[in-house]
Amino acid sequence: MKFSLFMCSPEYYGIEYEINPWMSLQRQADRALARRQWEALYGLLTGEIGVKVELIEPAPGLPDMVFTANAGIALNGDFISSNFRNKERQDESRHFKDWFKKKGYRIFELPPHQFFEGEGDLLFAGDTDAYAGYLIRSDVYSHAAVAEMLDRRVVSLELVDGRFYHLDTCFCPLNEKSVVYYPTAFDTYARQVIEANFPDRIELTEEEALQFVANAIVIGDHYIQPPGGARYLRRALQERGFEVHELEMSEFMKAGGATKCLVLKLAETSEGASGSVRDWSLFREKT
């Protein structure tokens, strides 16, 4: 799967409400420092890593718009828009949809009663399979709909720890066979599903998971994460041939996000833009 990335600068970022256990109005983010941390990530991605990054203009009053992973799913010229569970984030969707529409994407939406928070809760492992978290932010019912739209297998995984409210906070596929994850964030059945589908698993300790090291961007053999994982993860990744890049993400972790939350993959498979999303009766294509 080839991809470029989609980001939003943190011009209006801040802790303005509390919608996950990490957020506290009493612990504000330093906006200037957040800006430097975001620019360091952008610089690494566009410089040393050499990946194309598309930018959306930030909108005032939407402090979490910087977390573009939650915008939706972008695949082969189609964009499945998120249905945010929390009203504080719902206005982000129109900005994201407008941007993708202007870029020529076909826009698809889920029924309003099905919450779905994009790549925050759905991650691809290879070209054909995707894994999706549910219960805390996204609804499990949305997974069947997204699977039909993408014409791909979507494997549902129940999240049970509110600190890891999105799948991408505790689960990071390296490829179709290998994964970094924190087992305790999942219910028993989900752990069994992960064990059955990934023969190579790197299990994080609670200390490592709370460092947000699973909230990582994987590009080729590059693994981009916040500082952490020194005890087990770093060695495990290096044994598998990965180069680990650590970037300070302290200001974004105050809102419950890190490197992965700041990017959305604009993915393209070998199918190209021939239409990966099915025209299915439940979904409305915006014109």
Below-70 pLDDT ranges, the chain = 271-287
The values of phi and psi at residue 236, to 5°, are -60, -40
- Write out pLDDT tens, residues 1-60: 888 999 999 999 999 999 999 999 999 999 999 999 999 999 999 999 999 999 999 999
> Where do the domains of the chain lie?
3-267
Known catalytic residue at 245: no
- Of 8, 170, 172, 261, catalytic: 261
How far is it between the farthest Cα atoms of the chain? 51
Q: Check 143, 166, 222, 245 and give the catalytic one.
A: 166
pLDDT of residue 286: 43
- Predicted confidence at residue 73, as pLDDT, reads 98
Which CATH number is associated with domain 3-267?
Answer: 3.75.10.10
Active site residue 261: yes
pLDDT in tens, 101-116: 999 999 999 999 999 9
- Return contacts of 225-232, CB within 8 angstroms, 24+ apart: 225/258, 225/259, 226/250, 226/253, 226/258, 226/259, 229/204, 231/205, 231/207, 232/202, 232/204, 232/205, 232/208
pLDDT score of 86: 97
Q: What is the pLDDT of residue 249?
A: 98
As a whole number of angstroms, the distance between CA 263 and CA 44 comes to: 13
